[in-house]
Structure 1
Amino acid sequence: MHRRYTAELLWWTTLLGFLLGLQLVLTGCSTVPSPERFAVEDLLADAAFKAPPQVPRPDLVFERSPEMLAYLKQRIEPLAARIGPQRAMIEALYEHSALQIDYDAEYTRTARETFADRRGNCLSLVIMTAAFARELGIPVHYRSVYVDHYLSRSNDLLFVSGHVNLSLQLRRFSPVGATGDGADWVIDFLPLPAGAQQRVHEIGESVIVSMYMNNRAAEALNAGKLDAAYWYARAAVQAEPRLSQALNTLAVIYRRHGQILLAEQVLRHVLAREPDNLAALGNLAVVFGETHRGVERDQLTKRLAQLQPVRPFQYLDEGIAAMGRGEPRLAQQLFIKELARSSFSDEAHFWLALANHALNDMSAAAEQLVLAKETSATQSKRQVYAAKLQSLLQASAQGGRTP
């Protein structure tokens, strides 16, 4: 059945990483409502949300555990005496490390959680690496990397991911190799192909802390924990009031909590600085729709149509609808179009596998399940895709069509 996509869009930082909210019913173009500025303190509503046992604390993000300090003493410092602290940290954590740290975007971890779990998303890995660098006295520079934004969705939330890395002084490094080009060591958990160029800009540690808090707010929101989501979003806004992604997350939380006026105020505050912010425009359209301001909502959706003619996941949703009507060939074409826009969509790879299976192309179905597994950002989803692939292969070997 076709799902009319009215998800709020959350921008966060994972492989990439943040939280935005977006409702799109796209047509032409028109005007945007006059934005307004508010003091950040006026956008908070502590009394409306149950306080957690411990309010999120920025100082815990980079906190080093006793196990981390022991690893530093036993493994990194002896190496540093021979090859220098930067190179020693790279080898001990990543290149020749016994830690075996895996990428996993299930949730965003602090430095000590990442070390203990041996896994994390790109933001978690940046935080853990910076925590070790701090102990060694190595200056760290955080960098926001311009990449094509990766879209994913869960429940009725749409997530847009960005990417961060960090640099140490002296030379350049990536997990797949190192070059002595005279620049800083750049540690990147999503290395580009050889010869590719990155566009980056340096960001402060307050932005990293805000991104962490914003990710945790998004994760809590996705789990339906509105009170926890609010306190994380509040911490994100306080850590870096200029981060529009955190303000957008706060607005989504307010709307879902019934604080419609506050949601509108926060979104207008964002639009006062960023008139073309897609997340704020889309979420404000949702607010207008819920408060029966159809004319204003239509103005915003027309403006969104001008800025983004094809809505997120449009071809995927149309393909799913085609599958529901028993048209796997059309669905296959639509899933391929979706992947042409976002090749890292595990959901699109999975549905293309189903379409290929329905067309009795088992080899292509298996190939897409492998890609779904490889592009999934969480261990739990990778396990699901791996199980479906194994079932498909067994069924094919036995001459059956259905796993």
Structure 2
Amino acid sequence: MSVAVQRFTMVIMLVGICACTVVPKPSADISSLWQDQYFQSVPVLDPAAIFALPVEVVREVRLDFQQHLAQQLSPQMWLAQYLSAADGGFRYQDNDTRVAADTFYQRHGNCMSLVVLTAALAKVLDVKVVFQSVQVPPVWDHQGNFNLLNGHINVRLKVAEEGNVYHALATDLLVDFVPTETLRAYRTERIDEATVLAMFFNNLAAEAMVTHQWDRAYALLKVSLSQQPQFIAALNNLAILYRNNHQLVMAERVYRFALQLQPQNLTTLYNFAVLLDSEGRLDEWIEVNRILELERIRNPYYYYGIAQQAYREQRFAEAIHWYRLAIEKADYRHEFYFGLARSYWALGERKQAASSLKKALQLSRDDSWTHRYQAKLNALERH
């Protein structure tokens, strides 16, 4: 099974083909899509708890800010520096969606965690924020049987308005892991807090689905869609959850609902296609295959899968070719370079193997992979 996830919201997407009919958009009432009788009740976070901070944290932040007033920093600038990853204020960690309080204490999380913490601290300092969905190119990841498609979200700290006073040089401050220069190339879309909450709970649901916590995922998706009933990402996750629990009729109902909202949404088309294919509905699958075939080959894990198979079959030169194609699509994935390194090593090309392994080490953010790559690089350099 192949799945993709948008990590600012973590969307799960099964890759495949299907066809659909364009019809008027449905109402926001999605009550017919729920099947509570098939899932155990699981307690989940109250949405109000996402941005909540303990009293002692609020007191600490205000005191810290007051102590830095002598630096003549605006609340926006102080907060931006306080959260700066470059200064050790916050460390990026993938697959780590946290509420504001947990992120404050742990000082790490993904981009959603950073956005939530920033908004919570901004409220403490009476700074207004603007949430933004960033239209970055697809970023792929892989976990177990799931291909994960990552999106991006960030937040702007608004310049304070002081009556009729205009600050000619004042600008909003962007809080993001990604450098501002890089982000300028991408379109942003302003989103409201309800959408952020829908994304947050959909993130948690996708994380639960990866580990097969179906009851928890179902409960989290209900919260997500209660915040934003027409949130396509969560609808896709709900359909996949039904399919993984053998409720194919309900899965199809959710897919069709989502396609009524966005008939050309490729994520939904991919997802629905897997269901059609599994049921042998070949005519429907063929109708749209021409459209979606191009999308399939844009997925770097399509090439990575072929490379892995070639490596297992000891066709190392061929594996190198496919690993390189995967890298052309996603040159930020450490496992692609690791596969390349192994293939070069198998062919006795130690210099290329070492270079590829160093690149894998450079890109790895997870400690377990970093230690593994470092150990292999040390062993390689001893030979």
With structure 1 as the length reference, what TM-score do the two structures score?
A: 0.84
| SS of corresponding position for 2:97 | coil
Structure 1 residues 80, 142: CA separation in 2 closer, same or farther (over 3 Å shift)?
A: farther
> Distance between the aligned counterparts of 2:182 and 2:30, measured in 1?
43
1:47 alignment partner in structure 2: 37
Determine whether 1:21 maps to 2:16.
no
| SS of corresponding position for 1:10 | coil
> Distance between the aligned counterparts of 1:274 and 1:146, measured in 2?
17
Question: RMSD across aligned C-alpha pairs, in angstroms?
Answer: 2.6
Q: Is the 8 A contact 1:285 1:301 kept in 2?
A: no
Determine whether 1:186 maps to 2:186.
no
Matches within 5 A, 1:301-316: 301-305=289-293, 308-316=296-304
2:263 alignment partner in structure 1: 275
Q: Is the 8 A contact 1:217 1:230 kept in 2?
A: yes
> Distance between the aligned counterparts of 1:237 and 1:364, measured in 2?
49
Match of 1:155 among 123, 144, 149: 144
> Distance between the aligned counterparts of 2:300 and 2:355, measured in 1?
24
> Distance between the aligned counterparts of 2:83 and 2:26, measured in 1?
45
Matches within 5 A, 1:57-68: 57-68=46-57
1:317 alignment partner in structure 2: 305
> Distance between the aligned counterparts of 1:195 and 1:246, measured in 2?
26
> Distance between the aligned counterparts of 2:262 and 2:33, measured in 1?
17
Matches within 5 A, 1:343-358: 343-358=331-346
1:8 alignment partner in structure 2: 3
Structure 1 residues 96, 70: CA separation in 2 closer, same or farther (over 3 Å shift)?
A: farther
Structure 1 residues 371, 204: CA separation in 2 closer, same or farther (over 3 Å shift)?
A: farther
Q: Is the 8 A contact 2:16 2:269 kept in 1?
A: no
How far did residue 215 of structure 1 move?
Answer: 0.6
| SS of corresponding position for 2:253 | helix
Q: Is the 8 A contact 2:3 2:147 kept in 1?
A: yes
| 1:16-63 C-alpha deviation (Å, 9 max, x unpaired) | x521222337xxxx95356684631221222221111x2332111111
2:164 alignment partner in structure 1: none
| SS of corresponding position for 1:313 | helix
Range with bigger deviation, 306-315 or 109-118 = 306-315
| SS of corresponding position for 1:21 | coil
How far did residue 199 of structure 1 move?
Answer: 1.5
> Distance between the aligned counterparts of 2:359 and 2:381, measured in 1?
21
Letter in 2 for 1:252: I
Matches within 5 A, 1:95-106: 100-106=89-95
Match of 1:237 among 219, 225, 238: 225
Match of 1:164 among 140, 148, 153: 153
> Distance between the aligned counterparts of 1:50 and 1:306, measured in 2?
40
| SS of corresponding position for 1:151 | strand
Structure 1 residues 240, 367: CA separation in 2 closer, same or farther (over 3 Å shift)?
A: farther
Determine whether 1:113 maps to 2:102.
yes
| 1:65-124 C-alpha deviation (Å, 9 max, x unpaired) | 345224313312332573221112122232785x54210013211111111111000110
Q: Name the count of aligned residue pairs.
A: 373
* Overall identity of the aligned pairs, in %: 26
With structure 2 as the length reference, what TM-score do the two structures score?
A: 0.89
How far did residue 208 of structure 1 move?
Answer: 0.9
> Distance between the aligned counterparts of 1:390 and 1:12, measured in 2?
27
| 1:212-265 C-alpha deviation (Å, 9 max, x unpaired) | 101100000001100001111111111111221111111111111122111111
Letter in 1 for 2:178: L
| SS of corresponding position for 2:14 | coil
Q: Is the 8 A contact 2:338 2:357 kept in 1?
A: yes
> Distance between the aligned counterparts of 1:96 and 1:156, measured in 2?
34
Range with bigger deviation, 320-329 or 248-257 = 320-329
Letter in 2 for 1:9: A
Determine whether 1:75 maps to 2:70.
no
> Distance between the aligned counterparts of 1:363 and 1:291, measured in 2?
49
Q: Is the 8 A contact 2:19 2:269 kept in 1?
A: no
Structure 1 residues 67, 300: CA separation in 2 closer, same or farther (over 3 Å shift)?
A: farther
Instruction: Mark the runs of 5 or more structure 1 residues left unpaired by the alignment.
Output: 1-5, 172-179
Match of 2:75 among 81, 85, 103: 85
Instruction: Mark the runs of 5 or more structure 2 residues left unpaired by the alignment.
Output: 161-167
Match of 1:386 among 364, 367, 370: 370
